[in-house]
Chain A
Amino acid sequence: MTAAFPFSAIVGQTDMKRAMILTAIEPGLGGVLVFGDRGTGKSTAVRALAALLPPIRMVAGSPINAETPEDSPDWAEAPGTEIITRPTPVVDLPLGVTEDRVTGALDIERALTLGEKAFQPGLLARANRGYLYIDEVNLLEDHIVDLLLDVAQSGENVVEREGLSIRHPARFVLVGSGNPEEGELRPQLLDRFGLSVEVRSPSDIEERIEVIRRRDAYERDHEAFMTQWQAEDATIRSAILAAREALRGIKTPDAALRDCATLCLAIGADGLRGELTLLRAARALAAYEGDAAVERSHLARVAPLALSHRLRRDPLDEAGSATRITRAMTEVWG
């Protein structure tokens, strides 16, 4: 397995990169939804992000990537005490995956051959403390979507089946990607994603050529290419780490809160999740840019990411959702 394409070498796609960096700083944002055509670099960005993130420390062999031996669940076999570091896990959830594979189930082989009741952890366990990536999330079967929503919200996976009663932490950042032309995503699931991004392949010929050029260099002159971009990746990584530290100290003036509320009212977003996500994303952005407090400029840059998928769908308004938000911002904030 060769190293993933460097994150910093992805041409353009500022919104997508920004959204991913924000979730890396503040995992509580609740995931990213990337909508766009095939071949726009969605998968590349997700895999690049995993390589970019700092490694996590975990108990060796822990099925749920536990941080300390005490956190290891009792059903895990012989929880070791050795602590290792490994890259942030990114787990792929393929379409057509069965419920058993997602939540984990009774280990049938062991039940039948040894007569033991053992739990075979699923993808949710493996994704704990990392990323769960669903390509073509809009084509995923409904019952799996329900299940994911439930776990993503509670941060805990509860398995009650075949005589097993097991719960384990499953805190992960959900990254979904898909092509809206192939089917819509249910509004309930849409709302659960913190940020959403719409990606297009660049229409500028120079930019397109640059993409091909870098991809080619990556494939042909791998080592040199990686060395060239690793420095930039390292800069982003240390900025993310610094931002995580700084996040706590970011001030949120009342004016910013008011800005959030008026904007969400103006666009008529359902519920309060919009405001909360907007604020959190703005704080993460402020931390990333080394500012001390949330300002309107931060809000303005994350508002399309945090709100575009929370608009009521209006069949008569042909304008894209991002346009509607920009319009609302100029109306409300002047």
Chain B
Amino acid sequence: MTGNPAWARALSALALLAVDPAGLRGLTLRARSGPVRQTFETALARLPDPGRRIHPDLSDTQLFGGADIAATLAAGHLIQSAGLARTPARLILPMAERTPPALAARLAQLLDQSPGHTLILLDEGLDAEEAAPAALTERLALHVTLDAVPHTDARPLLPAPADLLAARARLGQVNHTPQDVITLTTLALSFGIDSLRAPSLALRAARARAALKGRTTVSEEDLRTAAELVYPARATQLPQDPPPETEEEDSPAPDPDQSSERPDIPDEILVAAVAALLPSALLDQLTRQQSLRRAAGSGAGARRKAQHRGRPLPARPGAPDGRARIDLIATLRAAAPWQAMRRKTRPDAPGLIIHAPDIHLKRFEDRSDRLVIFAVDASGSAALARLAEAKGAVELLLAQAYARRDQVALIAFRGTSADLILPPTRALVQAKRRLAGLPGGGGTPLAAALEAILSLAQHAQAHGLSPALALLTDARANIALDGRGDRVQAAEDTARLAALCRARALPAIVIDTANRPGPEPARLAAEMGARHLALPRADARAISAAVATALGD
């Protein structure tokens, strides 16, 4: 056995998956690419079932099968290609954090309908914002993080294949007590796991572990391992103290015989086991749950190529993959000049003779979604009322977001730091909840705000959004980037980051919210290459209108 607990957990997750692939559905691995993950993949390859690697760009035809057009044309009769869905296999999806929602939906459908498939998500997300789609991670039982494992600890030691198969055969005989169900369900609830899939999957994991250890009853150790593998990634809160107490009163009541048969399960130990594995920044995780949705398009942002809609562009030759549509006219036009020559080689072929290279695909030019980042100065120097106005403007913009196809994000800065209050969203429900509790007061960390804005803008761009900025401030920076109250340093940092905004060509508007107009906001706007707008007494509606016109539709 290896000494590293994280690695040991990863291995036991793999072994459990090998024992009960149909019940556990798969595994999410969160780790950067590197020797440790390499070793994990080596271990993965040693599992008994066949594995297939897929990629986030997988097309429908590859997944569900369909006509193989190139082969069909060459043969002159219809040739079907079998999709991955046909043969049950372990599908391994690297770069899972980049999975488009469409593929996630189809993989989820595949998992729901065909019990033979298991899915391994290799999530290489850098920060909490980047993660595999929740529609998939929710369905997969196991979750493993390998970031803390030194690679000297990682060895692909798995139980022998014969043992795994024996455990699989034993799985049907493993029994659990009604008390186990109650324990796992209560535990899930105490961690704020609302989904009922989690306890169900944990129960199966516990049984798989019992089978693996050669037992036919589920032990407390099994429950703990199962909870450690299934719950931490789903937890939304730390357990409060009261639940375990009430639970102890409940637990003997439903089935006294069972609990006398075996010592009562010390739930506190289970809670502690899971709590120890909770991601260090649980709050980060919570905000992450609504991570950036990949932009759908047809917005007001930058132009980009699209396959389905938008303004038509000239057709291009290409292989049909079930996503782009074939441009029939262009295809025929490409094939026409060659007909006489092709007829000589295949005189008996009916109709036009079309070869695969003739096929042209339709292309369209679409516009990406725009992301309007509101950065609001919530410091003591900016009037507190401003915050309320900004909140109002964000809500107004959101209400119109559907028509304009904009997404909205809100950064507030005060004291020594800037915080992303509202991650990019179009959802009014979520936005209102986040906006409700937004405090004000403290210094003006303008540099930190610009830093936060730049990182959000960069992130949004990576997700195909076109960011634009509305900065509401009086621009009287007095907190430097390192958090010290130093006006000179603060001004220097601000100027440096403003220049960076300009270099990145981030479309921006600086809304001057100072009660007495000063030169700072205008200077900041010039440094950022942004428009400057003095609005000493604006209301939410005026801000919303000004932003809409300034950022240009």
Give residues in A with beta carbon < 8 Å to B: 1-2, 37-41, 43, 92, 94-100, 106, 108-115, 135-136, 139, 141-143, 162, 180-184, 186, 200-201, 205, 208-209, 211-213, 215-216, 219-220, 313, 315
Contact = CB atoms under 8 A, between A and B. Distances in A.
A253 to B, nearest CB: 39
Nearest to A95: B105
A212 B427 CA distance: 32
B427 A180 contact: yes
A162 B195 CA distance: 46
A39 B352 contact: no
Contact of A113 (B73, B199, B399): B73
B260 interface: no
A135 B308 contact: no
B350 interface: yes
20 contacts: A95-B101, A97-B102, A112-B354, A114-B351, A115-B350, A141-B308, A143-B308, A181-B429, A184-B426, A184-B428, A200-B194, A205-B186, A205-B189, A211-B200, A212-B181, A212-B199, A212-B200, A219-B23, A220-B172, A313-B428
Interface of B: 23, 67, 69, 72-73, 76-78, 100-106, 108-109, 112-113, 115, 134-135, 138, 172, 178, 181-182, 184-186, 189, 194-200, 203-204, 247, 250, 290, 293, 296, 298, 308-309, 320, 322-323, 325-326, 328, 331, 350-352, 354, 395, 399, 402, 426-430, 432
A1 to B, nearest CB: 7
A44 B426 CA distance: 28
Interface centre among B101, B196, B199 (most CB of A within 10 A): B196
Contacts of B185: 205, 208-209, 212
A141 B306 CA distance: 13
B182 A209 contact: yes
Given A96-B103, A109-B78, A213-B181, A201 B426 contact: no
Given A113-B77, A180-B427, A205 B250 contact: yes
Contacts of B354: 112
* Shortest Cβ-Cβ A-B pairs, 10 listed: A96-B102, A39-B195, A115-B351, A95-B105, A39-B197, A109-B67, A209-B185, A38-B138, A94-B105, A201-B194
Contacts of B198: 39
A39 B140 CA distance: 12
B383 to A, nearest CB: 23
A184 B100 CA distance: 19
B100 A96 contact: yes
Contact of B106 (A96, A112, A143, A182): A96
A186 B402 contact: yes
A108 B250 CA distance: 64
Nearest to A315: B395
B195 A38 contact: yes
Contacts of A40: 194-196
Nearest to A36: B194
A193 B77 CA distance: 44
B252 to A, nearest CB: 15
B550 to A, nearest CB: 24
Contacts of B23: 219
A99 B200 contact: no
A184 B73 CA distance: 44
A92 B427 contact: no
A208 to B, nearest CB: 5
Contacts of A201: 194-196
Contacts of B430: 181
A96 B108 CA distance: 13
A209 B181 contact: yes
Given A205-B182, A315-B395, 20 more contacts: A38-B195, A92-B109, A95-B105, A96-B106, A98-B322, A106-B328, A108-B67, A112-B331, A112-B354, A113-B76, A182-B293, A183-B426, A183-B427, A186-B402, A205-B186, A208-B189, A212-B181, A215-B196, A315-B399, A315-B432
A77 to B, nearest CB: 14
A109 B72 contact: yes
B130 to A, nearest CB: 17
Nearest to B178: A213
Contact of B203 (A109, A182, A208, A216): A216
Nearest to B425: A183
Contacts of A98: 308, 322-323, 325
A182 B290 CA distance: 7
B296 to A, nearest CB: 6
Nearest to B194: A201
Contacts of B108: 135
A241 B172 CA distance: 39
A96 B194 contact: no
Nearest to A138: B427
A66 B104 CA distance: 33
Contacts of B115: 2
Contacts of B402: 184, 186
Contacts of B200: 211-212, 215-216
Contact of A184 (B104, B178, B427): B427
Contacts of A211: 196, 200
Contacts of A97: 102
Nearest to B324: A98
A1 B108 CA distance: 16
A94 B102 contact: yes
A99 B325 CA distance: 10
A110 B134 CA distance: 39
B308 A99 contact: yes
A94 B109 contact: yes
A43 B112 CA distance: 9
Contacts of B106: 94-96
